[in-house]
């Protein structure tokens, strides 16, 4: 695998996922595992630390990856159709696993039409949105990999779109749930720590762009994978973005300490006394 120096690069997604930095780097996904689980979980999920690491492979993730390739790159060359009704037969599962092992994307032939239809809906909805000019072909950069070093620690990020003036970034997400902004904010954005992507990408943009841009706007383009393939644009308020940066700082410090000491602890051995959620207390008080 090629190692890249600090800067902005165009590299294949699978190479980015395997971490092409000169030393094990911090990504948004690893930062989320550090904060929501433990350093032990982060070590296990890191391709450069865990020698037995394997990329996550599941149908929902592959639908999103296929949609990304068709929407952003117009390239379906990695997609391999499997002619079966579902994945329940041994033959279909064997074909699927072999395709994944080869680094390509398996899809049921009867599902590919739906993904293509979804992507066409996304193109139309994005083109007529207030971000239409920014997302127009040739208007900015697509799927650029940021690699940079701060305080002897390497970081990596891969925003989907960056405007020509580098002041607007957009990331495309697919969801099996609702793309309604508030529902998605309570769901994937929060539970998967996707707000950390915004903080890390903006920090990377500042690190490799001279002079750094000011007042960068981050937007998630969130699309449902079921008809009518509704899409929403979800931005982070200044308060949420400040929270994301503070969370990222916590992850960066923890990551640096773990790397320096080569210690990756799991959960504490002491008893943790938990509190009921704030909303439950509020509901109880209201009922009483």
Could you give the C-alpha distances from 24 to 19, 106, 148, in angstroms and in order?
7, 29, 12
Give the model's pLDDT for residue 77.
83
How far apart are the C-alpha atoms of 67 and 79, rounded to whole Å?
Answer: 10
pLDDT at 103 over 90: no
How far apart are the C-alpha atoms of 184 and 152, rounded to whole Å?
Answer: 35
Give the model's pLDDT for residue 281.
87
pLDDT at 221 over 90: yes
Q: Which residues pair with 146 in a beta bridge?
A: 8, 157
Give the model's pLDDT for residue 122.
97
In sequence order, the 6+-apart residues with CB closer than 8 A to the CB of 95 are: 82, 84, 106
Q: What is the mean pLDDT of residues 229-238?
A: 96
Give the model's pLDDT for residue 134.
87
Of 250, 259, 51, which is closest to residue 153 (Cα–Cα)?
259
Q: Which DSSP helix (H) or strand (E) runs through 224?
A: strand 217-224
- The pLDDT tens digits for 127-173 are 999 999 988 888 889 999 999 999 999 999 999 999 999 999 999 99
- The pLDDT tens digits for 192-210 are 999 999 999 999 999 999 8
Tally the domains of the chain: 1
Q: Residue 273 — pLDDT band, cuts 50, 70, 90?
A: very high
140 in a domain, yes or no? Answer: yes
Q: Residue 102 — pLDDT band, cuts 50, 70, 90?
A: confident
78 in a domain, yes or no? Answer: yes
Q: What is the mean pLDDT of the chain?
A: 93
Share of the chain above pLDDT 90, in %: 73
Could you tell me the pTM of the whole model?
A: 0.90
CATH number at residue 94: 3.90.320.10
How far apart are the C-alpha atoms of 45 and 43, rounded to whole Å?
Answer: 5
Beta strands 145-150 and 161-163, pairing class:
unpaired
Question: Given 3-state DSSP classes, what are the helix, strand and coil percentages for the chain, each rounded to the nearest 5?
Answer: 45, 15, 40
284 in a domain, yes or no? Answer: no
Share of the chain above pLDDT 70, in %: 100
Taking the CA of residue 120 as centre, how many other CA atoms within 13 Å lie in the half-sphere pointing to its CB?
A: 8
pLDDT at 56 over 80: no
Q: What is the mean pLDDT of residues 91-95?
A: 91
114 in a domain, yes or no? Answer: yes
If phi > 0 it is left, if psi is from -120 to 50 it is alpha, else beta; for residue 150 that is: beta
Give the model's pLDDT for residue 139.
87
DSSP string over 114-165: HHHHHHHHHHHHHHTSTTHHHHSTTSEEESPEEEEEETTEEEEE--SEEETT
Enclosing domain of residue 56: 7-267
Tell me the two tokens of residue 122.
Answer: 């996304």
In sequence order, the 6+-apart residues with CB closer than 8 A to the CB of 169 are: 159, 160, 161, 162, 163, 198, 201, 202, 205, 216, 217, 218, 219
Give the model's pLDDT for residue 213.
86
Mean pLDDT is highest, among 26-40, 106-120, 139-153, for: 26-40
278 in a domain, yes or no? Answer: no
How far apart are the C-alpha atoms of 209 and 207, rounded to whole Å?
Answer: 6
> How far does CA 115 lie from the centroid of its chain?
19
Contact by Cβ (8 Å): 115, 71? no
- The pLDDT tens digits for 243-252 are 999 999 999 9
Q: Residue 94 — pLDDT band, cuts 50, 70, 90?
A: very high
């Amino acid at each position: 695998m090629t190692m890249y120096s600090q800067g902005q690069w165009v590299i294949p997604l699978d190479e980015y996922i395997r971490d092409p930095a000169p030393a094990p780097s911090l990504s948004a996904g690893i930062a989320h595992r550090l904060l929501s689980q433990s350093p032990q979980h982060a070590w296990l999920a890191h391709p450069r630390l865990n020698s037995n690491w394997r990329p996550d492979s599941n149908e929902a993730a592959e639908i999103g990856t296929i949609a990304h390739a068709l929407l952003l790159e117009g390239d379906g060359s990695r997609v391999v159709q499997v002619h079966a009704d579902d994945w329940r037969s041994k033959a279909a599962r064997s074909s699927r696993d072999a395709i994944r092992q080869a680094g390509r994307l398996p899809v049921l032939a009867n599902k590919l039409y739906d993904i293509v239809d979804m992507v066409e809906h996304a193109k139309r909805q994005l083109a007529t949105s207030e971000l239409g000019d920014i997302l127009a072909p040739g208007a900015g950069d697509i799927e650029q990999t940021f690699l940079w070093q701060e305080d002897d620690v390497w970081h990596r990020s891969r925003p989907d779109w960056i405007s020509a003036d580098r002041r607007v970034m957009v990331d495309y997400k697919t969801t099996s749930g609702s793309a309604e902004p508030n529902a998605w904010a309570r769901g994937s954005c929060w539970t998967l720590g996707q707000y950390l992507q915004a903080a890390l990408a903006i920090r990377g943009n500042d690190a490799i762009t001279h002079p750094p841009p000011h007042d960068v706007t981050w937007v998630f383009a969130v699309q449902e994978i079921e008809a009518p393939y509704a899409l929403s644009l979800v931005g982070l308020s200044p308060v949420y973005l400040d929270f994301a940066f503070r969370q990222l700082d916590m992850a960066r410090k923890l990551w640096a300490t773990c790397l320096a000491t080569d210690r990756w602890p799991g959960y504490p051995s002491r008893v943790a006394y938990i509190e009921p959620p704030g909303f439950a207390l509020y509901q109880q008080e209201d009922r009483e």
